[in-house]
Amino acid sequence: MRYLSFLVFGFIFFGLVIGARVIGDNPGGRALLTEPKISRTRTMPGSSLYFFKEFRRSIDQALSFGSLSKIRNRLDVLDERLGELHELLVHREASPDEFLSVSGEYQNDLDYIRSKIGASEERALDFSDEFLERTFYHFQIFEKLRWEVPEFRSDVVFLEEKMLETAAFVFGIAGDGAEVDTDIFEKNSLPGLQFLQKFADFLPAAISRARVSAAKQEIVSILRGYYLANELSPTSLVGFLIDEANGDFISRVRAVDVLREGFQDEEMKNQLVFLRQKMFEEVDASLFFEDGVIDDEIERLSSFISELRENDADLSEDLQEKLEKAEFTYDRSLEFYSSGLYDRVFSQLSLTSVTLDSLLLDVSLPSAFFEHSVNSLKNEFESLKGKIDGNGEDGVISEFFHEAEENIAELLVSIGQEVSFDFRLISRTKSILVALREALR
């Protein structure tokens, strides 16, 4: 009798789970037009093993549908939070406390989405397209806010980067199946290029970065086709781009440089140069030097070039030439930097970035170089560790030791999970090890 009761209870619970699955997929209660796909199994229907496999699969699917529904609801909440932030900032009604409260809720919502995705590749794949489109929308709002409300610029940049980081996490979990849908940038080509350039900096895997680079080239091709199909003059297309050119000044310049690389028409290239000059007329470029934005860009490019040069034996002749071109334009940017020729600094840094971006299309490069660099740091740290342990609790040495240890641990995790390729952290850790070596002499 007890076994019979258990069996009846099991069938009832199984029916409830199936019902939850159908309702979760059809909130309005409409009938499914097609049955959900059932994974192939060699277990014959009717057997107890088949029953329990289907039972477990149904539970997993019900939980998955529930999580996706919660994630999408939280995305709607995120849009509302963004509206609140926009209202507070644009109308100058934001006190620091109010801004911190709303921005804190915005960050909590992003953390919630991240926790619900977890390590589920299937869930991330189902969600990646929609989240990328929402992220692009938020990115455009943040880009406008950072210039309209300069007193809150650093806070806005932090929220923008938090959103980009979360989107990159989703893409990383989704893995090889995640694609960049360029349709969402169809009417926002220049902001789309700006967005993809920033998004690539947060992406976890080299193959994902290569997809972003390919998507950027696709946008350029779309623009080129639009230009040819409508028999536009170069001036007309540039006028269209000027109307789109809101947001981060550096990204705008880099986006125009990507376009210059993509167009063969000399007149078009000249018009894009004109567009560049117009951008500089509208913005006081010296402000970016005061904010440290340019220093960050120089450090980012320097770190990547250094890693490529240290491992250049594996580069093909074509990639060697690209690296030399990147080094040349980077060195020129430093010369102009020391002379205070700000617009020329931007020009050379943009060309450097475009060249390095094309290197990323060789998907094996960043991951191989990154792993080699991290292992080299680990070996060097291990060789110093014995000397460090013998120096007691010296304050400076102890501080350097713990920071280097934490950095290397973080970098090793990055290799195992392919969560980021942080060349700046490598550069920082190298500097710490040099300082340690000097302190131990």
Integer Cα distance of 50 and 123 in angstroms: 25
Q: Are residues 332 and 378 in the same domain?
A: no
Work out the widest C-alpha separation in the chain, in whole angstroms.
Answer: 91
Integer Cα distance of 288 and 296 in angstroms: 10
Q: Are residues 400 and 431 in the same domain?
A: yes
Q: Are residues 409 and 318 in the same domain?
A: no
Q: Are residues 92 and 171 in the same domain?
A: yes
pLDDT in tens, 343-381: 678 778 777 877 776 665 554 555 666 676 777 778 888
Integer Cα distance of 314 and 128 in angstroms: 34
Q: Which helix (H) or strand (E) holds 356?
A: helix 342-359
- Give 38's DSSP letter: -
Q: Are residues 384 and 431 in the same domain?
A: yes
CB 152 within 8 A of CB 102: no
Q: Are residues 321 and 434 in the same domain?
A: no
Q: Are residues 424 and 408 in the same domain?
A: yes
Does 20 fall in a domain? no
Does 189 fall in a domain? no
Does 69 fall in a domain? yes
Mean pLDDT of 37-65: 43
Mean per-residue pLDDT of the chain: 68
Contacts 24+ apart (CB under 8 A), 396-405: 396/439, 397/436, 397/439, 397/440, 400/432, 400/435, 400/436, 400/439, 401/436, 403/432, 404/429, 404/432, 404/433, 404/436, 405/381
Does 3 fall in a domain? no
**In the block, which residue shows the tokens 């589920």?**
120
Q: Are residues 388 and 346 in the same domain?
A: no
- Give 393's DSSP letter: T
Mean pLDDT of 183-207: 70
Neighbouring C-beta atoms of residue 137, cutoff 10 Å: 16
- Predicted local distance difference test score (pLDDT) of residue 279: 67
pLDDT tops 80 at residue 219? no
Residue 18 pLDDT class (50, 70, 90 cuts): very low
Does 372 fall in a domain? yes
Residue 157 pLDDT class (50, 70, 90 cuts): confident
Integer Cα distance of 330 and 314 in angstroms: 22
Q: Are residues 419 and 335 in the same domain?
A: no
- Predicted local distance difference test score (pLDDT) of residue 97: 75
Q: Which two tokens stand for residue 135?
A: 């992220």
- Predicted local distance difference test score (pLDDT) of residue 271: 73
Neighbouring C-beta atoms of residue 69, cutoff 10 Å: 13
pLDDT tops 60 at residue 390? no
CB 165 within 8 A of CB 202: yes
**Percentage, residues of the chain above pLDDT 70:** 51
- Predicted local distance difference test score (pLDDT) of residue 102: 81
Integer Cα distance of 276 and 27 in angstroms: 50
Integer Cα distance of 189 and 194 in angstroms: 9
**In the block, which residue shows the tokens 């007890």?**
2
CA distances in angstroms from 29 to 21, 24, 26, 32, 74, listed in the order given:
11, 9, 5, 9, 22
Q: Are residues 340 and 409 in the same domain?
A: no
Integer Cα distance of 217 and 210 in angstroms: 11
Counting beta carbons within 10 angstroms of the beta carbon of residue 250, is it exposed (0 to 12), middle (13 to 18) or buried (19 or more)? buried
Q: Based on the structure, what is the number of domains in the chain?
A: 3
Does 100 fall in a domain? yes
Residue 45 pLDDT class (50, 70, 90 cuts): very low
Q: Are residues 81 and 107 in the same domain?
A: yes
Mean pLDDT of 21-43: 37
Integer Cα distance of 264 and 329 in angstroms: 21
Q: Which of 10-14, 220-224, 343-347, 371-375 has the lowest mean pLDDT?
A: 10-14
How far is C-alpha 121 from the geometric centre of its chain's CA atoms? Answer: 17
pLDDT in tens, 53-71: 444 444 444 444 446 677 7
Which domain covers residue 147, as residue numbers? 48-178
Which residues, 6+ apart, have CB-to-CB distance to 164 below 8 Å?
A: 135, 139, 198, 199, 201, 202
**Percentage, residues of the chain above pLDDT 90:** 0
- Predicted local distance difference test score (pLDDT) of residue 123: 76
Residue 401 pLDDT class (50, 70, 90 cuts): confident
- Nearest one of 208, 198, 136, 211 to 172, comparing CA atoms: 208
Residue 392 φ/ψ region, left for φ over 0, alpha for ψ in the -120 to 50 degree band, beta for the rest: left
- Predicted local distance difference test score (pLDDT) of residue 241: 59
- Give 31's DSSP letter: P
- Predicted local distance difference test score (pLDDT) of residue 127: 75
Q: Are residues 322 and 401 in the same domain?
A: no
Integer Cα distance of 387 and 290 in angstroms: 41
Last residue of a domain, one of 334, 361, 388: 361
Higher local confidence (pLDDT), 32 or 112: 112
Residue 436 pLDDT class (50, 70, 90 cuts): confident
Cα end-to-end span (Å), the chain: 81
Mean pLDDT of 293-300: 72
pLDDT in tens, 61-106: 444 444 667 777 777 777 787 787 777 777 666 677 777 788 888 8
pLDDT in tens, 113-154: 888 777 777 777 777 777 888 888 888 888 777 767 777 777
Last residue of a domain, one of 152, 178, 204: 178
Mean pLDDT of 215-237: 65
